[in-house]
Amino acid sequence: MQKKLPKWYELVDNTKSEGEIESKIFIALCRNPKWLWRSVGALSKETGVENIIVEEVLYKYYKAGIVVQHNRNTDQWAYWENVKNELPEEQPTLTEIDKIVRIHGRFSKEAKKLIP
């Protein structure tokens, strides 16, 4: 089960100049129906913002989990909501696995799903 992620507009502060730049980048990243994945160069060209600033903004929101980097082409980025079917499922923690093993037993169906 994946955790609930915030929308980009809930995190971007448009009252500051950096928020306006971030908004431009997110609009270019999210709202173009032709593209799920966008390169830094394409985002820079579309928004008129320098590549280095686009990379900084993408990395900032990558750490927050709302921007996703392509697993094979590291120059491609996407908004989490546009590619949510491609995101890996959240793995259970060791504590959750231990709890299931204790409750259902090591050889139960539930435990076999979680233990490699």
With respect to residue 40, please indicate whether it lies within any of the assigned structural domains.
yes
- Its pTM stands at 0.67
32 and 71 co-located in one domain: yes
34 and 67 co-located in one domain: yes
Backbone angles phi, psi at 55, to 5 degrees: -60, -40
| pLDDT value at 1 more than 50 | no
- Quick one: pLDDT at residue 52? 93
62 and 100 co-located in one domain: no
Angle formed by the axes of helices 17-30 and 40-47, nearest 10°: 120
17 and 52 co-located in one domain: yes
Domain that holds residue 56: 8-79
Q: What is the C-alpha separation between 5 and 95, in angstroms, rounded?
A: 23
70 and 103 co-located in one domain: no
- Quick one: pLDDT at residue 92? 65
| pLDDT value at 94 more than 90 | no
| Segment 48-90, tens digit of pLDDT | 999 999 999 999 988 888 888 887 888 889 988 888 776 656 6
Q: 31-35, 54-58, 69-73, 102-106: which has the highest mean pLDDT? A: 54-58
The domain tally of the chain equals: 2
